[in-house]
Amino acid sequence: MKEKLPNPSDELPIFYGCDPEPNDLVEHFSHFVLAVSDLDRSEAWYRDVIGMDLLGRNLTAEGQPHSVLEMNTGQLFILVQQEAVDAARVNSHGVHHGFALTQNQFRRAMSRLEANGYTTGAEREEFIARGQYSVDVYDPDGHHYQIETMDEVQAHEPLFTGAGVIDCGPAMSFAIGEVRTFREGNFFLVRLDEGFLAPTRWCSHMNGMVIYQKEHWRFWCAMHTATYDRRGVPTCTTTRFPDLHPLRLHPVRIDDNGHVLVDSDRVIERTSYEEPNPPAPFPMREGGTQNPDLTPLPS
Ligand code: FES
């Protein structure tokens, strides 16, 4: 039996769930004007496939025949009849518009797309975070759209490779400030002045993949450009990340041979740099001792 789709009236419009900052220069755009070559055809497509509300024809001062639609955000989308439309310019494949929907809106959109004969697979999977769902569609003139939403659970659940405890080599081989990437366990090992940290490579925003940018001394997520310092603390201040947590940590210890061990099967959530897991102390040099308080890793 076909799943019953949720009622459209149950949700508020969203902008990634963020309220605009009071000092934002531009809060959101008010309307979007698009050239189309066949007004009837495009009006039907934006109404029936994308799901916009049709307000009417020729409602503005625009001289050309046009159609005014309303998006789920309340913003206007205006289609203007033109002789020729150049939707996809040479070398502009990445230029597109993105619609951010709630999960229920997204499910309804997928249903509409499928009913209209579209396949709903993501065309650019490498650009999508684990907790993000996205499809690419083209309007009748070839204008490119991304329709996306976020799954709360998948966006924030800890992800593991199953690699277990990884020997990262002698602690003494790391220079202060150095960051190494361990792909097998999908974490970084950071040598700080005060010890070692092993932040996961899964971004705290939506489980995108984070890389280390040595030239900026920071971690960076290509999905929506969140940034973190070498302690894994967020440094991005846009309204897209109002409550971004630090990168999650894997437990670290130094073994009797002075090797750094990281448990890639366990992860520690943090709300700040200090809480709840301070860095593992660096082993003392010749004749020194290690901190006896280190929690042993499970065997
Ligand atoms: S997943 Fe969104 S910024 Fe990383």
Assign 3-class secondary structure to 210-273: EEEEHHHCEEEECCCCCEECCCCCECCCCCCCCCCCCCCECCEEECCCCEEEEECCCCECCCCC
CB neighbourhood size of 162 (10 A):
8
Q: For ligand 1, pick from 157, 201, 203, 227 the residue to mutate: most ligand atoms within 8 Å of CB.
A: 203
Is pLDDT of 122 > 90?
no
Distance 202 CA to ligand 1 centre (A): 9
What is the residue with the minimal CA distance to atom 2 of ligand 1?
A: 224
Number of neighbours of residue 91 by Cβ within 10 angstroms: 7
Compute, in angstroms, the gap from residue 210 CA to the centroid of ligand 1. Answer: 8
- Asked if residue 276 has a cis previous peptide bond (ω within 30° of 0), the answer is yes
Q: How far is CA 249 from CA 152, 174, 187, 202, 231, in A?
A: 20, 18, 9, 10, 10
User: Which among 205, 210, 211, 237 is the best mutation to test ligand 1's pocket, defined by most ligand atoms within 8 Å of the CB?
Assistant: 205
Give the pLDDT band of residue 191 (cuts 50, 70, 90): very high
User: Distance (Å, rounded) from C-alpha 155 to C-alpha 202?
Assistant: 10
Q: Which helix (H) or strand (E) holds 88?
A: none
Q: Which two tokens stand for residue 238?
A: 């846009």
Spell 187-216 as b/e; 16+ CB within 10 A means b.
bbbbbbeebbbbbbbbbbbbbbebebeeee
Q: How many residues comprise the chain? A: 299
Contact 115, 68 (CB under 8 A): no
For the CA atoms of 114, 119, 120, 124, the dihedral, rounded to the nearest 10 degrees, stands at -160
Q: Which carries the bigger pLDDT value, residue 93 or residue 244?
A: 244
Residue 91 alpha carbon to ligand 1 centre in Å: 26
Q: Which of 130, 201, 219, 223 to mutate to test the pocket of ligand 1 (most atoms within 8 A of CB)?
A: 223
Ligand 1 atom at minimum distance from 210 CA: 4
pLDDT class for 120, splitting at 50, 70, 90?
Answer: confident
88 CA to centre of ligand 1 in angstroms: 27
φ/ψ of 114, rounded to 5, equals: -65, -40
> How far, in Å, is the centroid of ligand 1 from the Cα of 130?
9
Ligand 1: which atom is nearest the Cα of residue 130?
1
SS percent in the chain: helix, strand, coil, step 5: 15, 30, 60
Q: d(Cα 285, Cα 262) in Å, to the nearest integer?
A: 21
137-172 residue pLDDT tens = 899 999 988 888 877 777 888 889 999 999 999 999
Task: Note whether 252 and 194 are within 8 A (CB).
Answer: no
- Residue 20: how many other CB atoms lie within 10 Å: 11
Residue 48 vs residue 89, higher pLDDT: 48
Give per-residue pLDDT as tens, 217-234.
999 998 888 999 999 999
Q: Which domains does the chain have, with CATH numbers?
A: 12-84+93-155 (3.10.180.10), 158-299 (2.102.10.10)
The pair of structure tokens assigned to 83 is: 């002789």
Atom in ligand 1 nearest the alpha carbon of residue 206: 1
For the CA of 207, the nearest atom of ligand 1: 1
Q: Which residues contact 254 (CB under 8 A, 6 or more apart)?
A: 171, 196, 260, 261, 280, 281, 282, 283, 290, 294
pTM score, two decimals? Answer: 0.65
pLDDT band of 283, cuts 50, 70, 90: low
- The DSSP element (H or E) to which 184 belongs, if any, is none
* First CA to last CA distance, the chain: 49
Q: How remote is the CA of residue 203 from the centroid of ligand 1, in Å?
A: 6
- What residue ranges line ligand 1, CB within 6 angstroms? 129, 203, 205-206, 208, 221, 223-224, 226
Residue 25 CA, ligand 1 centroid: distance in Å: 24
